[in-house]
Amino acid sequence: MSTAVLEEKHTEASRRPPVINDFSIHVATANGSGSQSSNTILMRSIFQMGIPVSGKNLFPSNIQGLPTWFTIRASKEGFIARRRDIGVLICMNPETAHEDVKTVAPGAAVIYEESLKLDGLRNDLHFYPVPFSKLVLELVQDGKLRRLAVNMIYVGVAAWLLDIEMAEIEKAVAKQFKSKAAAVEINMKAIRGGFEWAEKNLKKSDPFRLERMNATAGKIIIEGNAATAIGCMMAGVQFLAWYPITPSSSLAESLIDYAGRHRVDPETDQPTFSVVQAEDELAALGMVLGAGWAGARAMTTTSGPGISLMSEFTGLGYYAEVPAVIVDVQRVGPSTGLPTRTMQGDITSTYYLGHGDAKHILLIPGSIRECYELAMESFDLAERFQTPVFLMTDLDLGMNNWMADPFSYPEKPFDRGKVLRTKEEFEAHVAKHREFARYRDVDGDGIPYRTLPGFFDAPAAAYFTRGSGHTDRATYTERGDDYKNNMDRLARKFETAREYVPKPVISSGNGAKVGVIAYGSSDFAVEEARTLLGRKGLTTDYLRLRALPFTPEIAAFVAAHERVYVVDQNRDGQMYDLLRLEVGSDAPKLRSIRHYDGFPLDAETVIEGIEAGEKL
Amino acid sequence: MSSTAPPGTTEPKAPPSNRVGLTVKEYGGLKSTLCVGCGHDVITRQITQAMYEMSIPPYKIAKMSGIGCSSKTTAYFADRGHGFNAVHGRMPAVATGAMMVNPSLLSIGVSGDGDTASIGAGQFVHLLRRNVPMVYIVENNGVYGLTKGQFSATADAGSKLKTGVVNDLPAIDLCAMGIELGCGYVARSFSGDMKQLLGLLKGALAHRGTALLDIVSPCVTFNNHDSSTKSYKWAKDHEIPIQEIGFVPYYEDITVDYDPGTTQDIELHDGSHIRLKKLRTDYDATDKAMALALCQESQQKQEFLTGLIYVEPSKKDFLELSGLGSVPIVSLPDERLRPGRKALEEIMESLK
């Protein structure tokens, strides 16, 4: 499009100041209609134009037919949390069209199938009727492909409306279809057809535009689950047992895919990694404990309902002191309770998972990079502390598309913990400590030494693994003092863990009286909220938690502020509760902001929570 | 490796040692805490003997169990090997994980009828379906002992507890289930038939893949009375062995002095041979349909048929099916487990 044409196109729109690179596009389709490719192409094209972007799939628990939405946010300031207000709505689903139109912000642009006749619904929107069903008949000859290709037409219409560069769309299409010439051709034809139709027949009246920037060069786009999978692979994971569950399945599948390519021993051509798709989550964790006990870096990945099923084995892993990494991609509800929506719902239940006294190490990534880095860290901690370690992500982080810097290669060697791997190591240990006692605290940090089955022939190296009823020499006991000694050592071990878990990320030093504590995927919305509040004159300090147990910085942060807002994506303020216990007499300083409608957190929720508390 | 004292000395004769230089005592474990006369203790002794005779290096043994009287017994043998007492009914998963990363282990699992046929039925099914290399022993007494005598799912319909409670439900036949699910070594035995049991255990140790042994092992405290079909008396009166079990270990010369008409000779994974002298003419332990028919017939006639019911020695085990190599994954050095810089760069490039 020439500059002259562009100017002409924007004449109508220019009565209002243009909104450039700062709005969200909301695409409403029916599940299973093949819109995923179109939405990815839209998002990638914007990304390739150098504009910070994020994409979120707000999908139903369904294979085909139920309504689904994809929301793409372009933000020149680099805000990538969900944006509450919608700038551009693309209505492809007759079922939800009326409701969709009712919910957009005043002044939004609405692209819709002409025959739906939506323009009478409101008079404060910019309506763009498009005869998608007629166009697709003209543009796509193969009847079987029309259902999918119709989605490409809206890509073309949106490209015209928002000034998305066609060259970038072509690149994104080629990437999406892995340069399969026939697929690229059919889809590009539909996209161009949509663009040309719009150019001829529509008149732009809305203010939304995209303009090339240079803020995404060198960055990657990736889902959190893939980032976690790459972290696990680089951490040398040797065994994965898993049971399919949304939203964690793609993590296992991604790991199997990456490891299949990059974890083949060059010398023997054999895999250095093994997988079992288990019969259920109980078995999955049982297998992981078996593999961890045998000396492997072993993991499973699941979500809340799976965590519930893993409760008994987690308790055993805690008492028997077997390393395991459990990824919990958190979601809403048991059974059919919004399984495809996001939540930070398993914080307290996982922290105390198991029966009797049990507390676990939880690592909580707050970004894509941390999905990768803390995945690696979790294996080191699991082996260092010989215990199940939980990596707590969520559906928003795990299944949505995020922009990130490329991951750096890990320079730190693995921490395999206190393992007597050879007969020499074993004999040296015995010489130093008189004997090998599996559960004896010889170093004062609560962490004992372990041997592995089948590694070397020394009668005294073998031990019998069981639950909590064991002496420090791993023999059976039901004596109260033996049990208590063991419990006290486990408590010491947990105290040691406080020094090893990732410290919180703190931004402070501006004398703010108000603090914010958040964790996990809330970070994106919280950072945006802080910037916006700052512009309104309210400066805040911020502590982002990255692990349980808490480290000493947390109580100090609360002590240093008058009021501290704790952001939870759950109804009960789960982290808020744990923090109240942690900070003791400072507990009255804590305020709770809770978001729990199943959708990713947005900045407005945080701003509203803080403003209400500060009575602004 | 000779254990005999030098000639001319007056020292007492040392106990004989096996091919790895160990005496049978060195395959022992802790003293049993089960009831006096418990069938399980007899099985423990035969396991110990079989491992000794098979010259298994004890440090390679991984003893697996769930929860129940039977599951306690892994502490009573081979204390030079590691053991893992898992949670109730979930030993198969733990064993599967351990074997997947270290197939050089020899895994022996001891379970009971409650642990296997009820709470652990799901895991049992999938263990067999996968053909995880391990010996899986069910010490089957038809009752829950540790919780004081409730019926289990292997109790026969019509059998009566001491309290007078009658079991109305049919028994789960673990052997039929095993054959159906593709298990390549399915045997039934009785703790009172030590010779047969020893032969079957040695065969199980020589087999690669899951070897299932369903061993009736009377509970002297809760299920050994006259109205029980899992009592010593009932088992003794009703046992009908289908074969006499002979075993020729891999290190001994195979002699051919048997009559193929009356004896079936089967070579097992490690080169040992199990020799089945047929007591039922025309029974072929490698015929799956025949094996299933035998289980059904045994149920219908309320017969207690023992022996090697089904064997398929060349069946692929789970590791082979999973495409894993011969080097245990657990023994790979760390540097072989982390992909190089180039791999990460390639991945990052593909995401740009």
Place of tokens 């490209």: A159
From the CA of A277, how many Å to the nearest CA of chain B? Answer: 11
Instruction: Give the DSSP letter of residue B25.
Output: G
In percent, the amount of chain A with pLDDT more than 70 equals 98
Predicted confidence at residue B234, as pLDDT, reads 92
At residue B12, does pLDDT exceed 80?
no
Contact B322 A276 (CB under 8 A): yes
Q: How confident is the model at residue B211 (pLDDT cuts 50, 70, 90)?
A: very high
Residue B136's Cβ-side half-sphere holds a number of Cα atoms within 13 Å equal to 37
Check which CATH number belongs to the domain holding A228 and give it: 3.40.50.970
Residue B15 belongs to a domain: no
| B58 close contact with A: CB closer than 8 A | yes
Shared domain check, A428 and A361: no
The pLDDT assigned to B2 comes to: 43
Please report whether residue B302 resides in a domain.
Answer: yes
**C-alpha triplet A256, A261, A264: angle, nearest 5°:** 100
Local confidence band at B345 (pLDDT 50, 70, 90 cut-offs): very high
Question: Is A21 a residue whose pLDDT tops 70?
Answer: yes
Q: Is residue A409 part of a domain?
A: no
Contacts of A235 in chain B (CB under 8 A): 338
Asked if B125 is an interface residue toward chain A (Cβ–Cβ < 8 A), one would say: yes
**pLDDT range class, residue B227, cuts 50, 70, 90:** confident
CATH number of the CATH domain containing B290? 3.40.50.970
- Would an 8 Å CB–CB cutoff place B337 in contact with chain A? yes
Is residue A378 a contact partner of residue A298, using CB atoms and an 8 Å limit?
no
Give the model confidence (pLDDT) of A406-445 as tens digits.
999 999 999 999 999 999 999 999 999 999 999 999 999 9
Residues of chain B with C-beta less than 8 angstroms from the C-beta of A455: 59, 331
pLDDT at A15: 61
| Statement to judge: residues A472 and A514 lie in one domain | no
Q: Assess if residue A414 is contained within a domain.
A: no
> Domain span at residue A260?
222-404
Buried b (16+ CB within 10 A) or exposed e, B212-224: bbbbbbbbbbbbb
CA distances from A431 to A77, A428, A448, B128 (A): 62, 5, 16, 44
How many distinct structural domains can be found in chain B? 1
Cα atoms in the Cβ-side hemisphere of radius 13 Å centred on B203: 33
Residue at B142 is within a domain: yes
C-alpha closest to that of A158 among A187, A197, A185: A197
**Tokens describing residue B32:** 């049993």
Among A465, A500, A535, which residue terminates a domain? Answer: A500
Q: Classify the complex by whether its ipTM is higher than 0.90, answering yes or no.
A: yes
Average pLDDT value for residue range A317-335 = 95
Judgement on whether residues A238 and A335 belong to the same structural domain of the protein: yes
Chain A residues in contact with B133 by the CB 8 A cut-off are: none
User: Which whole number is the average pLDDT over A36-52?
Assistant: 96
Identify whether residues A133 and A264 lie together within a single domain. Answer: no
Residues A455 and A333 in one domain: no
pLDDT over 60 at B246, yes or no:
yes
Taking an 8 Å cut-off on Cβ atoms, the answer to whether B98 and A294 are in contact is yes
For A541-582, the pLDDT digits (tens) are 999 999 999 999 999 999 999 999 999 999 999 999 999 999
Q: Tell me which residue in B57, B83, B93 faces A287 most closely, judged by beta carbons.
A: B93
Nearest CB to A220; choose among B26, B95, B348: B348
d(CA A172, CA A185): 13
pLDDT in tens, B259-298: 878 899 999 999 999 999 999 888 999 999 999 999 999 8
A62 band by pLDDT with thresholds 50, 70 and 90? confident
pLDDT bucket at A3, cuts 50 / 70 / 90: low
Reduce the DSSP state of residue A192 to 3 states and report it.
helix
* Residue where a domain stops, chosen among A500, A531, A549: A500
Band of residue B7 on the pLDDT scale cut at 50, 70, 90: low
Domain boundary among A470, A500, A530: A500
If you search the block for the tokens 């508390």, which residue do you land on? A613
Q: How far is B345 from chain A (nearest CA, A)?
A: 9
pLDDT at A380 > cutoff 90 = yes
B101 to A238: CB separation less than 8 angstroms, yes or no = yes
Tell me whether residue B33 is in a domain.
Answer: yes
pLDDT tens column, B66-106: 999 999 999 999 999 999 999 999 999 999 999 999 999 99
Q: Note whether B95 contacts A: Cβ–Cβ < 8 A.
A: yes
Q: pLDDT band for A10, please (50, 70, 90 cuts).
A: low
Domain total in chain A: 4
List of residues 6+ apart from B158 with CB closer than 8 A: B166, B167
- Both A399 and A270 in one domain: the answer is yes
Give the residue from chain B lying closest to A47, CA to CA.
Answer: B352
Q: Which pLDDT score is estimated for B96?
A: 98
Is residue B121 less than 8 Å (CB to CB) from chain A?
Answer: no
A245-274 residues touching B, CB cutoff 8 A = 258, 261-263, 265, 268-274
B138 lies in some domain: yes
Q: Is B332 near chain A, with CB under 8 Å?
A: yes
Q: In this structure, is the dihedral angle defined by the CA atoms of residues A38, A41, A43 and A49, taken in order, positive or negative?
A: negative
- Inform me whether the C-beta atom of residue B146 falls under 8 Å from chain A C-beta atoms: no
Q: Do A261 and A298 belong to one domain? A: yes
Q: Could A284 and B93 be called an inter-chain contact, meaning their C-beta atoms sit closer than 8 Å? A: yes
Average pLDDT of chain A?
A: 95
Q: What is the pLDDT of residue A1?
A: 47
Tokens describing residue A333: 């509800």
In whole angstroms, what is the distance from residue B290 CA to residue A202 CA?
A: 77
* Domain range enclosing B70: 24-350
- Do A191 and A308 lie in one domain? The reply is no
Q: Residue A48: what pLDDT?
A: 97
Residue A416 near chain B (CB below 8 Å): yes
Indicate yes or no: CB of A413 within 8 angstroms of CB of B334: yes
Residue A587 within a domain:
yes
Q: Do B352 and A218 touch (CB under 8 A)?
A: yes
Percent pLDDT > 90 in chain A is 89
Nearest CA to B123 out of A280, A4, A199, A145 is that of: A280
Predicted confidence at residue B257, as pLDDT, reads: 74
Which of B85, B104, B108 would best serve as a mutation to test chain A binding (most A beta carbons within 10 A)?
Answer: B85
Question: Do residues A496 and A520 share a domain?
Answer: no
What value does the mean pLDDT take over residues A502-522? Answer: 95
CA distance A288 to chain B (A): 6
Instruction: Classify residue A217: in a domain, yes or no.
Output: no
Residue A318 C-alpha from the chain's centroid: 26
Would you call B320 an interface residue with chain A, using a CB distance cutoff of 8 Å? Answer: no
Check if B118 contacts A (Cβ < 8 Å). no
Residue B3 has pLDDT above 50, yes or no: no
Residue among B57, B101, B325 whose CB faces A291 most closely: B101
Residue A53 has pLDDT above 80, yes or no: yes
- Whether residue A601 is predicted with pLDDT greater than 90 in this model: the reply is yes
Same structural domain for residues A198 and A228?
Answer: no
Pair A195, A5: CB distance under 8 Å? no
Residue-wise pLDDT for A339-378, tens only, equals 999 999 999 999 999 989 999 999 999 999 999 999 999 9
Q: Which DSSP symbol is given to B224?
A: -
